[in-house]
Structure 1
Amino acid sequence: MTGSTLVRTHTGTVVPLRTAPVGSIQGTLALDLEPVVEPPAPPPLRALGAGDVVSVDAGARGRLEQWSLRYAQAAAEIAGGDRPVAQLLRWTDPDVYLDLARRAQLVAHAVGQAAGQGRVQSVRPQVLGVRTCFVADDAAEVSAHLRYGARSRALAMRFEVRGSRWICVALEFA
């Protein structure tokens, strides 16, 4: 029999099994197996928040959410020792700055590297989203959802306007 093979069934009988030609695409998936080295795209912003204590226009909310998302990404990378703490000096209260520097030193020391000199964490943190609550015209509290591989963490931040810029005056990882 051409184009077939013999197969023994569970009862012991031998039956012919016809083989069909296999197409070059059948049974394959179009997978890109190259590693992703670029940071993830930021998530879309949400609509106006119902938790605000004071009313804020959509433009101001959008600008603070975009900025706080970038700040949270940098803070997570700094706390993990991957980024130099000096990158957030202009937008961080001195007490928060010292705490971030201490966290970075502890993590880097645990793996035997110097903080802010390159890759310390095995997984790059990713900010999945931020939520903003304006508690005054010049103060906002922000929560961020961080992902470290399969694990999640929360980051709570408080920003206040000092001079002409938002400054992080409180930062807590959970």
Structure 2
Amino acid sequence: MKIIPLTQTPDSTLLISIKPEILKTNEWIQEELNYEQIDSVINLNQNRLSSNGLPEPKAWTKQLVTGIAEVLIGERPIFQLMRWVSFDVYLEIDKNIKQRDNKSKQRIRPLIRSVHIDQTSENVVEAIAVIQKGKRGRGMGIRLEAEEDRWRCTELLVA
């Protein structure tokens, strides 16, 4: 068995160096594959950016609503939301956190049933989401405002 050498770039990307003598064709393997280094870097988040350079509002809202719901039921620490919510919203969430019941072994994560977006301007998005945890459903309304290259939640209503 031959060892395939690995090299690590400064940004911690592992590159596999495959030499032609390692690739042998047999009845189970197709022709040798041509692995050439690509000079361009693919930006995976590029597809999720809207025209104004901010993340796509619907995907962003789903992630944020899920995070807020997980904090409210005690499944996620609140400090993870600091960057994404305003100080007033942070304090409101902090007041309403439910202490997690460590007795139950099975955790039921909140599930986003639907999200409706209304982009009132280029820098403001208002959204409502229906969240389900177990058999119970709840509604959440949020207002996102553009701040540099990200959305920040400035208003939150949980019903």
Using the size of structure 1 for normalisation, the TM-score is 0.56
Unaligned runs of 5+ in 1: 1-57, 114-118
1:72 to 55, 65, 84: 65
2:50 to 60, 69, 72: 60
CA distance in 1, matches of 2:143, 2:126: 4
Q: Does 1:126 align with 2:111?
A: yes
Residues 108 and 120 in structure 1, CA contact (< 8 A), matched pair in contact too: no
Q: Deviations over 1:90-149 (max 9, x none)?
A: 111000011112211xx118x5x7xxxxx8995321111211001111001011110111
Percent of aligned pairs sharing the same letter: 28
**Aligned residue pairs, count:** 108
The answer to which of 122-131 and 59-68 deviates more is: 59-68
TM-align CA RMSD: 2.6
Q: 1:120 to 1:141 in 2, by over 3 A?
A: farther
Q: Give the equivalent residue in structure 2 for 1:83.
A: 76
Q: Give the equivalent residue in structure 1 for 2:146.
A: 161
Unaligned runs of 5+ in 2: 1-47
- Which secondary structure state, in structure 1, belongs to the residue aligned with residue 99 of structure 2? helix
Residues 80 and 120 in structure 1, CA contact (< 8 A), matched pair in contact too: no
Q: 1:102 to 1:165 in 2, by over 3 A?
A: same
CA distance in 1, matches of 2:61, 2:73: 18
Residues 131 and 142 in structure 1, CA contact (< 8 A), matched pair in contact too: yes
Letter in 2 for 1:60: S
Residues 82 and 121 in structure 1, CA contact (< 8 A), matched pair in contact too: no
Residues 145 and 152 in structure 1, CA contact (< 8 A), matched pair in contact too: yes
- Which structure has the larger Rg over C-alpha atoms? 1
Letter in 1 for 2:50: A
